[in-house]
Amino acid sequence: MDNSVYVTLSRQMALFRDLEVTANNIANVNTIGYQGERLIFDDYLVDGGKVEPKLAFADDPMSYRDTRGGRVEKTGNTFDLAISGPGYFSIETPLGTRYTKAGNFQLNNDGELVTIDGYRVLGDGGGSIQIPRDARNLIINGAGQIADGNNTLGQVGIVEFANEQTLERVGDTMFKTDEAPLGPTTSKIMQGFLEQSNVSGVQEMVRLLHLQRSTGSTAKFIEVMYDLQRKTSETYTKPTA
Amino acid sequence: MRTLNIAATGLSAQQTNVDVISHNLANMTTTGYKQQRAEFDDLIYQDLRRTGTLTTNQNNILPVGVQIGLGVNTAAISRNTEQGTVQATENPLDIAVQGRGYFQVLLPDGSLSYTRDGTFKLSPEGILVTREGYQVEPAITVPQDALSVSISPIGAVEVMIQGQPQAQEVGRLELATFINPNGLQAIGNNLFIESTASGPPILGVPGEQGVGTMLQGYLENSNVNPVEEITQLIVAQRAYEMNTKVLTAADEMLQSLNQSV
């Protein structure tokens, strides 16, 4: 059987998977702390035997996260925190510690700092962060220390990772990993700011166009291949007059 | 086919975003209104190839896998409780709160609600009420023969009565604070009610323990910043457009696929 259609099909399938990744990036173009996802394509070589050269099938063995910082937007809210640098906030969830770039925090009715999904934000030492109800003017500095006037109330934890790519997405803009978190080196907290999604609309649109055209051309290729096969069989099976 | 659903989640999220922005713009001049913001979360991920699986028999593991996200959802619509600008009205019964705290308003069903809108009036009986006629708690009655009413920063309401040289105190306004004011439930008419998320109200004397002070003759404007809202509107509109583009692109890709078979 002719392999060319299958090689094209592998490309076609990879294109559709790329489309899904692009669609998810665009859907999250306004999601606080979201980082874009990219697929990496590879060729998968198959020995075509003595006559044919090696065949290169398209394969998408991995996707990676774009870890560049998103645009930082001023909100002026006390509990809106953005991290400049490669750091993450630690979040306590029923399934274990999770990490996030989204710093749109709130207080729950116990006065603890929580994410919008209600999970507790972990402090420097690993416990939750309690804000007294009579706090007047909360200042959170670059290192994450929370102060009300001269009283220090705690410290928002920042963690960094040796390899950010090992962090796995779990939804709700959170990540999980088995890698041990490290202390902050260059990461700094900015109070009253939020890190927006780092998805670039223009790039995604160009990608979309590219995907669309590529599907068209691969589909065309398959069509041509079938046409050839049809013509071949027509020619050779034509009854002789 | 996932793409179509992913784009659909993006479209509905941006629709919500525009809804919230238009609500903010519509309430740009509403006394005591607090700007709202739609916040989004990415949906769950499908692991098509899990991180850490073996790639070859030489103990090579996949450093990163393939994760396909399934779109976006609206996680919350939170309120920005920053102080709004304060505007002079010269009306003695207009009160602005500087800092934290809500006025308490008695609803007709006997329960309490809370507001930042200090546009108060007097009822025919001389009781301090809101524009809707709901009584302000604690009840303050201004005598019929009062010449003037003055409200101090700490909430003491004093009246001057003809023929009496000294002002008389007729009551003290209190402010309710919440540990999580963002969690209050809006019920319209600038009123909020307590919820599990907001925590119970903590009554306080204005000016003490982090509670705000009162400013007579002023009103607190909404804290909506029109420039910010319009910028957000453009962002939301463009994001919406991009998602529709994804829909068309996916549709055309599927179409070209269907034509070839």
**ipTM, 2 dp:** 0.72
pLDDT, tens digit, 9 for 90 and up, residues B189-212: 999 999 888 888 989 899 887 889
User: Quick count: other Cβ atoms within 10 Å of Cβ A108?
Assistant: 21
**C-alpha–C-alpha distance, residues A121 and A178, integer Å:** 19
What sign for the dihedral angle of Cα B194, B198, B203, B206? Answer: negative
Burial class from Cβ neighbours inside 10 Å (0-12, 13-18, 19+) for residue B251 reads middle
Identify from A71, A109, A176 which residue to disrupt to test chain B contact, counting B C-beta atoms within 10 A and taking the largest count.
A109
Place of tokens 């990608």: A207
| Separation between Cα atoms, residue A141 and residue B227, nearest integer Å | 28
Is B44 in Cβ contact with A26 (below 8 Å)? Answer: no
Identity of the residue in B69, B180, B202 whose CB atom sits nearest the CB atom of A108: B180
User: Do residues B62 and B37 share a domain?
Assistant: yes
Predicted confidence at residue B165, as pLDDT, reads 85
Structure tokens at B59: 């103990």
* Average pLDDT value for chain A: 87
Per CB-CB distance under 8 Å, the chain B contacts of A204 are 242
Check residue B255 and give its pLDDT.
86
Q: What is the pTM of this model?
A: 0.80
Query: Does B27 score more than 60 pLDDT?
Result: yes
Q: Do residues B138 and B109 share a domain? A: yes
**Within chain B, what is the greatest distance between any pair of CA atoms?**
102
Check residue B122 and give its pLDDT.
92
Regarding whether B213 and B99 lie in a shared domain, the answer is yes
- What mean pLDDT is predicted for residues A39-55? 72
What are the tokens at A190?
Answer: 């900015």
| CB-nearest partner of A29 from B37, B183, B239 | B239
| pLDDT(B54) > 80 | no
A59 and chain B in contact, CB less than 8 A: no
- A220: contact with B, CB 8 A cutoff: yes
Confidence of residue B217 (pLDDT cuts 50, 70, 90): very high
Q: Which of A39, A202, A199, A31 is nearest to B245 (CA)?
A: A202
Q: Kindly list the residues from chain A whose CB atom is less than 8 angstroms away from the CB atom of residue B37.
A: 75
pLDDT at B257: 78
User: Closest to B65 (Cβ–Cβ): which among A62, A116, A172?
Assistant: A62
**Cα distance between residue A201 and residue A25, in whole Å:** 9
Contact B155, B174 (CB under 8 A): yes
The reply to whether B75 and B187 lie within a common domain is no
- The minimal CB distance from B182 to the residues A17, A106, A216 is found for A106
Q: Do B112 and B128 lie in a common domain?
A: yes
- Domain ranges in chain A? 72-195, 200-235
Do residue B6 and residue B66 come from a single domain? yes
Sort A195 into a burial class: Cβ within 10 Å, 0-12 / 13-18 / 19+.
buried
Question: What is the structure's pLDDT at A148?
Answer: 84
Residues B45 and B111 in one domain: no
* Contact of B13 with B74, CB cutoff 8 Å: yes
Nearest Cβ partner of B39 from A20, A29, A104?
Answer: A104
Task: Give the residue, B15 or A60, on which the prediction is more confident.
Answer: B15
Question: Could you tell me if B94 and B18 lie in one domain?
Answer: no
Q: Please check whether residues B140 and B72 belong to one and the same domain.
A: no
3 state SS of B48: strand
Do B42 and A169 make contact, defined as CB atoms within 8 angstroms?
yes
The average pLDDT across A50-66 equals: 75
3 state DSSP class of B178: coil
Quick check: B177 and B102 in contact, CB under 8 A?
yes
Average pLDDT over residues A80-109: 92
The nearest CA of chain B is from the CA of A201 a distance in Å of 7
A228 CB within 8 Å of a chain B CB: no
Pick the more confident residue, A98 or B66: A98
Dmax over CA atoms of chain A, in Å, equals: 104
Of B59 and A85, the structure prediction assigns the larger pLDDT to A85
State the burial class of residue B78 (Cβ atoms within 10 Å of its Cβ: 0-12, 13-18, 19+): buried
Q: What percent of chain B has pLDDT over 90?
A: 63
Neighbours of B58 (CB within 10 A): 6
* Type of residue at A239: P
DSSP letter, residue B68: E
User: Could you give the number of structural domains in chain B?
Assistant: 2
Cβ distance B9 to B209 under 8 Å?
A: no
B64 and B92 part of one domain: no
pLDDT at A241: 59
- Of the residues A29, A38, A44, A195, the best mutation for testing chain B's interface (the one with the most B CB atoms within 10 Å of its CB) is A29
Interface test with B, best of A8, A31, A199, A230 (most B CBs within 10 A): A31
- Tell me how close the Cα of A241 comes to any Cα of chain B, in angstroms: 32
Out of A32, A205, A220, the one facing B40 most closely (by C-beta) is A32
Cβ–Cβ below 8 Å for B80 and A77? yes
The parent domain of residue B33 ranges over: 2-81+224-260
Tell me, yes or no, whether B77 and B141 share the same domain.
no
**Does the distance separating the beta carbons of B51 and A166 come in below 8 Å?**
yes
Which residues on A lie below 8 Å from B252 (Cβ)?
A: 212, 215-216
Contact A61 B62 (CB under 8 A): yes
Average pLDDT, chain B: 89
Of A84, A113, A41, residue with least CA distance to A195: A84
Residues B110 and B21 in one domain: no
The whole-angstrom separation of Cα A203 and Cα A213 is: 15
Q: Which range has highest mean pLDDT (A164-168, B15-19, B48-52)?
A: B15-19
| CA A181 to chain centroid | 19
Per-residue pLDDT at A49: 65
**Percent of chain A having pLDDT more than 90?**
41
Q: Which two tokens stand for residue A94?
A: 């029923």
CB–CB of A141/A113 below 8 Å?
Answer: no
In a mutational test of the A interface, the residue from B253, B255, B258, B261 whose CB has the highest number of chain A CBs within 10 Å is: B253
Per-residue pLDDT, averaged over A33-61, amounts to 77
A201 CB within 8 Å of a chain B CB? yes
Locate the chain A residue with the closest alpha carbon to B81.
A77
User: Cβ of A8 under 8 Å from any chain B Cβ?
Assistant: no
* pLDDT reported for residue A240: 67
Contact A27 B252 (CB under 8 A): no
